[in-house]
Amino acid sequence: MKTLQSIQARTGAALGAPLLATTSQQVDAAATAAAHAFEGWAASTGEIRGNLLRGLASALEADRDGLVSLADEETGLGPVRLNGELDRTAFQLRRFADIAEKGLAFDRLDDPAVAGPPPGGHPAMVRQRVPLGPVAMFSASNFPFAFSVLGGDTASALAAGCPVVIKAHSGHLLLSNRVFGLVRAVLSAQKLPAGLIGFIQGGGTDVGVRLVQHPAMAAGAFTGSTRGGAALQAVANARPRPIPFYGELGSINPVVAMPALLAEKGPELATLMAGSISLGCGQFCTSPGVIVLIKDAASDAFVSYLTTALAAQSPHAMLTPGMRQAFEAGVAHMLAAGAKPLLHEAGKPEAPRPFLAEVDAPNFIAKAELREELFGPSSLIVRAASVREAIEVLSAVGGSLTVTLWGVDAPTADNQALVRAAMAIAGRVLFTGVPTGVAVTAAQQHGGPWPSSTQPMTTSVGDAAMERFLRPVALQDAPAWLLARNGRPC
């Protein structure tokens, strides 16, 4: 049987005993168990769903010290960050518990009958929603709690009435197994079927791809690279019965900074930006990978301030040795494409130094390789000759989770054009602050046009994440007993 090995992030040394990879037969068994659990869970009450989600949140908190210690060894993210992320994960679980208990998954639209011939007359119609079915959930590397075993995808799918089969990420295998141990205990204590939340691990087509291909799977949810997400989306589309695949992928998150604001607050904004670029060693899906500046003396000064502030940062170890190698390869790729280095220093084997480069707008627009995500503590300054050229830069990006616009407070024609351009390519547009940090709230939109996500009309963070796993159904002249269920499937 294949084995898997966890790695200590800070040293690259093996951590713990090898783990057995899931076999093809075990993948099939997990998918089949989820299908068996689906009928009962789809018809469950909001109270039952809420109890499970609250129980999972409490289990995480009860094992906080052990979980955070193990996560720190496997990811190197540090106990402060990891404790905060565990808090966020428990918050997400309880927030979706609230949503389930309020019955939002069972919301319906009543359209009473209207007498007379069509088109004015029509029968009684009720539009409600049903859960899609078992979800193949792929954990992310950079958020070992909030986007992993009990992250937002799992919480929102369960709240919608869908079982999940979770594919663990290789970057935190021991943590994933420990969290799944908590899951099994909660399911048992609440007398829920073990197949409601399944778990698999390992690489290759016999695990993740096989799960997406399994006929019991009704949807996929993924957070990771554009290449990996695109490959799984192709698998989902190639099935005899294609299924929706919700991938949150790579993003370069442009920041457009107007000269007037830079002239007023250049040093302050440079410090803020440097912290955002290096936060979490740049391993955030919303890390500011591109900074668009209008050619001006204030912009020149800002670049100087930013270079100095970024040089003072000390990024920690990257999540895995593979990511560390990919970062160096990405830097070399960007330099080969014509980017001029402003800050480029040798780092440690496990921890890189921040990287900053610049290029003019025409070259950025012309060369697709300059628009690829560089996962790590880096950013590329793009010099634009005018607001119109800055808008062309945004258009060339094509799709991004975020765009940040600094200094567009007045309703000028240029500012309105920038806002239009930002809204055309991003799921979230910021007007202050930096894009790192994604609030879990009702109005959040974490997803944007390709290549930032596969389904730009959906979000993987916030209350609306549940909508991905519900499908509308119209009931025409339904019997009273069915209507009495108030939107809860039978």
**Pairing mode of beta strands 197-200, 400-406:** unpaired
Distance (Å, whole) CA 300 – CA 311: 17
C-alpha separations of 450 from 140, 239, 434 in Å: 19, 22, 22
Distance (Å, whole) CA 58 – CA 54: 6
* Residues annotated as catalytic (active site), given as ranges: 248, 285
Decide if 257 contacts 299 (C-beta within 8 A): yes
The structure tokens 């565990």 sit at 86
Distance (Å, whole) CA 37 – CA 192: 9
Q: Which string of b and e fits 171-199 if b means at least 16 CB within 10 Å?
A: bbbbbbbbbbebbeebbeeeebeebbbbb
Q: Which string of b and e fits 229-249 if b means at least 16 CB within 10 Å?
A: bbbbbebbeeeeeebbbbbbb
CA angle, residues 475, 463, 242, in degrees to nearest 5: 55
Distance (Å, whole) CA 199 – CA 183: 10
